[in-house]
Structure 1
Amino acid sequence: MKKLVLLPLIIGLLALLWSCNNQQPNENRTIVSGQLQVLTDETLLPIMEEQVAVFEHLYRQADVALSTGQENQIITKLLNGDAEVVILTRLLNDEEKKFFEARSFQPRIHQFATDAVALIGNQSNADSVLTVEDLIGIMRGEQPAGQQLRLVFDNPNSSTVRFLKELAGVDSLPTANLYGMKSNADVLRHVYETPQSIGVLGINWIVRPDSSLRKYAEGVKVLGVRNEAGKTGGDGYYKPSQSNLAEGLYPLSRPVYVINAEPRRGLGMGFAAFLTGLSGQRIILKSGLMPDSLPPRELFIRK
């Protein structure tokens, strides 16, 4: 008889334990633990791989799945809810903001670096400089006097193409002297092997290449760029160094943002805080990009 009385209690206890175990993964989603998918602009992949590796090393219960995409694809996934944390080189436009406003929600957006759109050339090219006027001309289907240059992009829908289209004030690309690849790595290889080509890619692919690309990164040259007359950087040719980015002298610079559209506090908030914090900014400083806030340096003076 006692067994019959205890049986419902035992079943109820087992059901409670099963329920608690199934809820545990949700309870473990904090700002420093759980799983998170981050979608990054492909031009920023090397630096973001390093950021994720250090973040997961510091927070052992955090699992960040990093993937890349074209800028328009990333935005589409963000609006569709297929991605909650993305890394982009532009802010949301008015139409994209209205999408979130209609849902009474505002993504949390933080700038954490300044990137440089680098121009690279084949070692056999005689010229190692280019003006913004010449670059705009090429984007409009014109060629600099006495030259025949071909711009090579990672792909037609990349953020670098959008950046240069805005710079040149064009809505479409000319059919001649522009060539789209599939990735920044392909741009490196193509310029390494092809004279008279000018590659367009994120600077961290040059400064921090992986072992498979080091030969190509070391075998091309980074071009100096002169801005339009009357603008900052219009008095000379400047390369995309961190000092030139800090002083605003390199004309092809752009901000880098982390956009967190998580509906509640979670690992996305912790990862964004890491990117803008001391550790994340130190990684940016080593990557060739310009950190949003310079990490302090401590000097110990011995008597």
Structure 2
Amino acid sequence: MKKLVLLRHIFSLLVVLGSCSSPQPKESQTIVGGKLQVLVDETVFPIMEEQVAVFEHLYKQADVTLSVAQENQIVTKLVNNEVEVAVLTRQLNADEMTFFEARQFRPRVYRFAEDALALVVNRNSADSAVTVDDIIRVMQGKEPMGHMSRLVFDNPNSSTVRYLKDLAGVDSLPSTGVYALKSNSEVLKYVYETPQTIGVLGLNWIVRPDSALQRYADGIKVLGVRNQAGKPGSDGFYKPSQSNLAEGVYPLARSVYIINAEPRKGLGMGFAAFLTGLPGQRIILKSGLMPDSLPPRELIIRK
């Protein structure tokens, strides 16, 4: 926490100093200027588009390019030094960190949001709730989920698949009952068009769909989820709302991290400070996800 506070102070100081100097060309790499490529997990891509739009509006010399990739591809490119900044829904594990430690370098990792896996069905479906035990049984290939005949993911190598495989304690998907498409938008469309299907999506794709996906988002509903006995959220069925994420009762919650593997102080540091600072956290709050730190609210009391 002290390091994060220090990072924010450094960022604020350098922004002030940078604003007092003459404009720098975009090729000049600073914490508020230059070019930066960021690999992003597709499940959180919509919120990252909003973050970049505001960041570039505030800092005219910054040029941030987002590229979508599967989780395993992102990690591979990070450890192979093909990209220096990435947004993931998990931290690097011990084996992955050894690649950096061999270079005597540890990437800087900052948590900036709480996301959730949302389970969605066709709006006309009779189902409105599901349990974590139901999901685990399906992932283990044991039985169908109520009236549902398919559990549909965005991609076989996505973070959503990895999350539920870890939850169920399995190394591979079962041969029946579980299907993978190519993207979150395809899952949204498939559930809209196909009854008796449960889609697994990043929450961001439901709460802030773009105009092309709005009619599909309007044609689905989000299931309530009950956790396993003895765990938070086992006393009822909870949907992935900000309040439920804040209280820790939605069972399928996960953190979102920006991983900065730049060996120098560059635009990646500035972008990370923006995400974890007040402007970035306000964007997270408005997006429907849960910010890492709640922005303060100022109330003006008039007599």
Letter of the 1:165 partner, please give it.
Answer: K
- CA distance in 2 between partners of 1:143 and 1:298 (Å): 52
Deviation at 1:148, TM superposition (A): 4.0
Q: Deviations 1:77-98 (Å, cap 9, x if unpaired)?
A: 1111111100001111111111
Query: Within 5 A, what are the aligned runs for 1:200-215?
Result: 200-215=200-215
Give the 3 Å change call, closer, same or farther, for CA 146–260 of structure 1 in structure 2: closer
Alpha-carbon spacing, 1:26–1:242, altered in 2? closer, same or farther (3 Å): closer
1:144, distance to aligned residue in structure 2 (A)? 4.8
Structure 1 Cα separation of the partners of residues 148 and 224 of structure 2: 18
Match of 1:163 in 2: 163
- 1:55/1:251 Cα in 2 relative to 1: closer, same or farther (>3 Å)? same
Question: Counterparts of 1:33 and 1:186 in 2: how far apart (Å)?
Answer: 36
Supply the AA of the counterpart residue of 1:268: G
8 Å contact 1:143–1:149 — kept in the other structure?
A: no
Between the aligned partners of 1:149 and 1:166, the Cα distance in structure 2 is: 22
* SS of alignment partner, residue 151 of structure 2: strand
3-state SS of the aligned residue for 1:190? Answer: helix
CA RMSD of aligned residues (A): 1.3
Which residue of the partner structure matches residue 134 of structure 1? 134
SS in 2 for 1:302: coil
Distance 2:197 2:255 in 1: 26
- Name the larger-Rg structure: 1
Q: What secondary structure, in the 3-state scheme, does the structure 2 residue paired with 1:92 have? A: coil
Task: Report the CA distance between 1:288 and its aligned residue.
Answer: 1.4
Q: Which amino acid in 1 is paired with 2:188?
A: L
Identity across matched positions, percent: 72
How many residues were matched structurally?
Answer: 280
After superposition, the Cα gap between the structure-2 partners of 1:80 and 1:145, relative to the gap in structure 1 and judged at 3 Å, is closer
SS at match of 1:109: strand
Structure 2 counterparts to residues 1-303 of structure 1, below 5 A: 28-144=28-144, 147-303=147-303
Q: What is the Cα deviation at residue 125 of structure 1?
A: 1.3
Q: Quote the offset at 1:145 in angstroms.
A: 7.1
List structure 1 segments (4+ residues) > 4 angstroms apart after TM superposition. Answer: 24-27
Partner of 1:245, secondary structure, is: helix
Q: Distance in 2 between matches of 1:171 and 1:179?
A: 15
Distance 2:42 2:68 in 1: 5
Give the Cα–Cα distance (whole angstroms) in 1 for the partners of residues 281 and 142 of structure 2.
40
CA contact (8 A) 1:152 1:197 kept: yes
The whole-number CA distance in structure 1 between the counterparts of 2:147 and 2:216 is 24
Once the two structures are TM-superposed, the CA of residue 28 in structure 1 deviates from its matched residue by 2.0
Superposition TM-score, scaled by structure 2 size: 0.90
User: Counterpart amino acid of 1:212?
Assistant: A
Distance in 2 (CA, whole Å) between partners of 1:143 and 1:293 is: 40
Q: Which runs of 5+ in 2 are unaligned?
A: 1-23
Deviation track 1:207-262 (CA, whole Å, cap 9, x = no partner) reads 00000001111110000000001111000000000000001100000010000000
Gaps of 5+ in 1: 1-23
CA contact (8 A) 2:138 2:145 kept: no
Q: Which amino acid aligns with 2:131?
A: T
Offset of 1:26 from its aligned partner? 9.0
Task: State TM-score, norm by structure 1.
Answer: 0.90
- Letter of the 2:53 counterpart: A
Secondary structure at the counterpart of residue 225 of structure 1: strand
Q: Provide the rounded CA distance (Å) in 2 between the counterparts of 1:189 and 1:33.
A: 38
Deviation at 1:27, TM superposition (A): 7.7
Residue 143 of structure 1 and its aligned partner are, at CA, apart by 2.2
Q: Decide which moves more: 157-166 or 138-147.
A: 138-147
